[in-house]
Amino acid sequence: MLVAGSSGGPRGLRNSSPEPSSIQPQTAGCEAKDPEMNDRGSQTGALLDLQETSEQPARKPRLAGIENHDDLGMAFRHSGWTRERDAVDAALVALGMADHRIDAFRGCGRDAWVLRSNEHPDKLRITGSYCHDRFCLPCATHRGRILAARIRDWLGNEPARFVTLTLASDSKSLTDRLDRIIAAFRRLRRTRWWRGRVKGGLATFEVKWSVKSAHWHPHLHILCRGDYLPAGELSKEWHVASGDSYIVDVQLVNEPDQASSYIAKYVSKPCPRSTYHNVDRLQEMIMALTGRRLFLTFGTCNLPKRPLDTDPDTWVKVQSLDEIMWKVQRGVPVAPEILALLKLEQPCKMTPETPLCRGSPRHHPPPSRN
């Protein structure tokens, strides 16, 4: 069954209307920019060899609640996903991941500061020491925002299409499923049909778990520029490339802002929410994604670079987040614009049971006086 323009696509997109098919040969440079999405690092192979040995190295003990630290800024950063974060920490330890990865994950958000823009004094942001781990939700969300802005810059006002490719369901592991969809997409891009219609674009994964079939269902979401893509022809080409899959979706991008945000959403969504609550699935997903690229550009797509948000020439430190949270917790007045940035109100009564301050220390040193 061919699916074209299903309701599952992003808002701001519509089904492509029939256009004259004009095939323009594409130069052989289509593959040049492809950083292989399944370019696995040596870490994964070494880890698998390590797990097969009879003597296991001493593993880093799991903390009794990784939110129990002396940094209120960290508690603030992770207060919205405490249980899920605890599950990821336990999975990283159980899989024997490197200590430096676990330490970075546990320390994410430490030494956070509120910054003010030199060019726009009314603009504030928060920065700190972040782990950049794929399974850290705040880091993934930040990465998605930056990517969305870069995609918007690349799209501009030129026409583009949003393409979704799926695989037929089977019971194989997530690693096998990801390897297979990557290989199939590579074969598709090498065909004369694709290279004659698509100039360039970008692609990312979405991984779902089907409760009904109890199988993994990876999808490829692609944003590309080029000529009209007949859904029927794409379905046939995808069937040849994948071997048994034919369900595709093609939509014309109407609103670049929404399309870029839709793509970036998958980069900022480490895994399905339900996966955090299933130990086996969470560990399988961590292993399957370790050392694997989940985002690629191909053809003429060259995403513009953006200046670092923490450029010292652009931003200046206002106050540490730890000190701000200390003041809020004790009713000490804080600048209204900072409260708005943190989405807080003052005065407010905060206790260790308040979700924002879950895991706050019983005793905390007074703020420094500068």
Q: What is the CA radius of gyration of the chain?
A: 23
pTM over 0.85: no
Closest CA to 188 of 209, 173, 203: 203
Residue 33 lies in a domain: no
Q: What's the confidence (pLDDT) of residue 203?
A: 95
HEC string of the chain equals CCCCCCCCCCCCEEECCCCCCCCCCCCHHHHCCCCCCCCCCHHHHHHHHHHCCCCCCCCCCCCCCCCCCCCHHHHHHHHHHHHHHHHHHHHHHHCCCCHHHHHHHHCCCEEEEEEEECCCCCCEEEEEECCCCCCCHHHHHHHHHHHHHHHHHHHCCCCCEEEEEECCCCCCCHHHHHHHHHHHHHHHHCCHHHHCCEEEEEEEEEEEEECCCCEEEEEEEEEEEECCCCHHHHHHHHHHHHCCCCCEEEEEECCHHHHHHHHHHHHCCCCCHHHHHCHHHHHHHHHHHCCCCCEEEEECCCCCCCCCCCCCCCEEEEEEHHHHHHHHHHCCCCCHHHHHHHCCCCCCCCCCCCHHHCCCCCCCCCCCCC
Instruction: Say yes or no: 293 and 327 in one domain.
Output: no
Instruction: Say yes or no: 197 and 264 in one domain.
Output: yes
Which single residue is written with the structure tokens 């930040």? 142
Q: What's the confidence (pLDDT) of residue 235?
A: 97
* Cα 342 from chain centre: 22
Instruction: Say yes or no: 362 and 291 in one domain.
Output: no
- CATH number of the domain residue 295 falls in: 3.40.1310
Instruction: Say yes or no: 181 and 216 in one domain.
Output: yes
Residue 11 lies in a domain: no
Residue 226 is part of which domain span? 150-299
Residue 44 lies in a domain: no
The string over 240-276, giving b where at least 16 C-beta atoms fall within 10 Å of a residue's C-beta and e elsewhere, is: ebbeebbbbbbbbbeebebbbbbbbbbbbbbbeeebb
Residue 329 lies in a domain: yes
Residue 4 lies in a domain: no
Closest CA to 283 of 301, 291, 296, 271: 271
Q: Report CA dihedral (39, 45, 47, 52) to the nearest 10 degrees.
A: 150
Instruction: Say yes or no: 205 and 334 in one domain.
Output: no
Domain count, the chain: 2
Instruction: Say yes or no: 96 and 179 in one domain.
Output: no
Q: What's the confidence (pLDDT) of residue 135?
A: 94
Q: What's the confidence (pLDDT) of residue 269?
A: 79
Instruction: Say yes or no: 248 and 337 in one domain.
Output: no
pLDDT tens, position by position, 320-357:
888 888 888 888 888 888 888 777 655 444 443 433 33
Region class of 214: left (phi > 0), else alpha (psi between -120 and 50), else beta: left
Q: Report CA dihedral (5, 6, 12, 13) to the nearest 10 degrees.
A: -20
**Domain end position, chosen among 243, 269, 299:** 299
Residue 128 lies in a domain: no
Instruction: Say yes or no: 225 and 334 in one domain.
Output: no
Residue 87 lies in a domain: yes
Q: What's the confidence (pLDDT) of residue 341?
A: 78
Residue 309 lies in a domain: no
Instruction: Say yes or no: 224 and 349 in one domain.
Output: no
Q: Is 204 within 8 Å of 262 (Cβ atoms)?
A: no
Instruction: Say yes or no: 353 and 258 in one domain.
Output: no
Residues of the chain with pLDDT under 70: 1-70, 307-313, 344-370
* Cα 64 from chain centre: 27
